[in-house]
Amino acid sequence: VINIGSGQAYTIAAVAQLLAEAMNLPELAPEILGKARSGDIRNCFADIDKARRLLGFEPAFRLEDSLEEFVTWVGSMAVVDRGADMRRQLEERGLVT
């Protein structure tokens, strides 16, 4: 198994801020509840050392510089914010701690 990624760790808050800025909505801020779903992995990012060693892999793009296509796609979608509903369901089922 060889992991491919940026090799850079990002917090969820940092990704949310990058997305808000890419969408020209820098005033948006994530709601950090300090809760986790049962079974969630708390810290995870691609360790690309093996890819570097075996394949000579080096990331060509940084997340910060690669959000334009995603933001364009999101902008073309009809979206409904179901965050509060999702949170309620997770809490009702005891799936957040």
Please write the tens of the pLDDT for every residue from 32-61: 877 777 777 878 888 999 999 999 999 999
CA distance 54 to 4: 12
Question: What's the burial of 92, exposed, middle or buried (CB within 10 Å: 0-12/13-18/19+)?
Answer: exposed
pTM of the model: 0.72
CA distance 41 to 38: 9
Question: What are residue 96's DSSP bridge partners?
Answer: 37
Q: Indicate whether 10 pLDDT > 80.
A: yes
Instruction: Write the CB contacts of 78 (distance below 8 Å, at least 6 apart in sequence).
Output: none
Question: What are residue 37's DSSP bridge partners?
Answer: 96
Question: What are residue 77's DSSP bridge partners?
Answer: none
